[in-house]
Amino acid sequence: MHETAYAKLNLALHVRGREPDGYHRIETAFAFAEDGDGLDVAEGEGISLRVGGPFAGDLAGADNIVLAAAHALRDRCGAAAGAALRLDKRLPVASGIGGGSADAAAALRLLQRWWRLDLPEDALVDIARSLGADVPACLFSRSALGEGRGDRLEFVDHGVGGMPLLLVNPGAKLSTRSVFERWDGHDGGPLGDPWAGRNDLEAPARGLVPEIGDVLEALASPGTARLVRMSGSGATCFALFQDSEDRDSASRQIAARHPHWWQLATRLR
């Protein structure tokens, strides 16, 4: 069986406050790309994971969240079955597009089918929430508004389904914790229309990776994008276009000027 771990976007991300436990209260508009990492499962003794793909090396020696998700699901259900998992890591690690969270969510969806479980939706969401703030949104991979830590969801139609999308990363990893720690504490107000919103983590992220500014400028410079913004805590930035020809033209221009930057041309689900 196969499952796609869909890349996550934050069309807007407003940080509203810092909680006593150190977490931040946010309001965000989630959207998801049609593409992402790939996860496969086959018969196996116990639970195992092999990682391949262009970004596999960035996960070497790490405690992979896919295994955490698999064990959490099996423990919840008391299942004795095994699973030989293989992750095709196509999305850059620590890049603001939910790669790890999407992988964990894909593992939950995939193993729910593979083990023929019948967990109710709220039980799956509880497991997802225990794995990370973005995992519940990634579990559904649908347009939504997120509040709290981003794990209280309201499913809405942002009107972006099918829009051509270009993701660009300058080749930099960013720690979500480090970016949030640099937030200036200013509450710029609630999230309304995502198109008119902002990403309050852009400034602290640019302080750590100044190349983010170059990426945003490169995405905006053709003048054909409807929206250009950084996603999550960065460093990946995105542009939404009216048609795929404009997206592909922007992609070619960026590739010619910055051949070492990572790109993904896709669409929103």
Residue 72: HSE in the Cβ half-sphere, 13 Å Cα cutoff: 21
Q: Which of 39, 34, 171, 177 is nearest to 92 (CA)?
A: 171
Mean pLDDT of 35-62: 91
Amino acid residing at 76: R
- Is the pLDDT reported for residue 62 higher than 90? no
Return residue ranges of the chain for CATH 3.30.70.890.
Answer: 164-267
For residue range 188-204, what is the model confidence (pLDDT) as tens digits? 999 999 999 999 999 99
Report the Cα 219 to chain-centroid distance in Å: 19
Segments of the chain assigned to CATH 3.30.230.10: 2-155
What's the pTM value of the predicted model, to 2 decimals? 0.96
Q: What residues are labeled active site?
A: 8, 134
Mean pLDDT value across the chain: 96
pLDDT bucket at 8, cuts 50 / 70 / 90:
very high
**Smallest Cα–Cα separation from 39: which of 64, 9, 66, 60?**
66
- 2 phi and psi, to 5 degrees? -130, 150
Specify the CATH number for 2-155; select among 3.40.50.150, 3.30.230.10, 2.60.120.10, 3.40.50.2300: 3.30.230.10
For 86-124, write each residue's pLDDT tens digit: 999 999 999 999 999 999 999 999 999 999 998 999 999
Assigned CATH topology for domain 164-267: Alpha-Beta Plaits (3.30.70)
Residues 241 and 250 sit within 8 Å (Cβ to Cβ): yes
Q: Per-residue confidence at 22, pLDDT binned at 50, 70, 90? A: confident
Look up residue 228 and give its two tokens.
């250009």
Residue in the structure block whose two tokens are 């996860």: 39
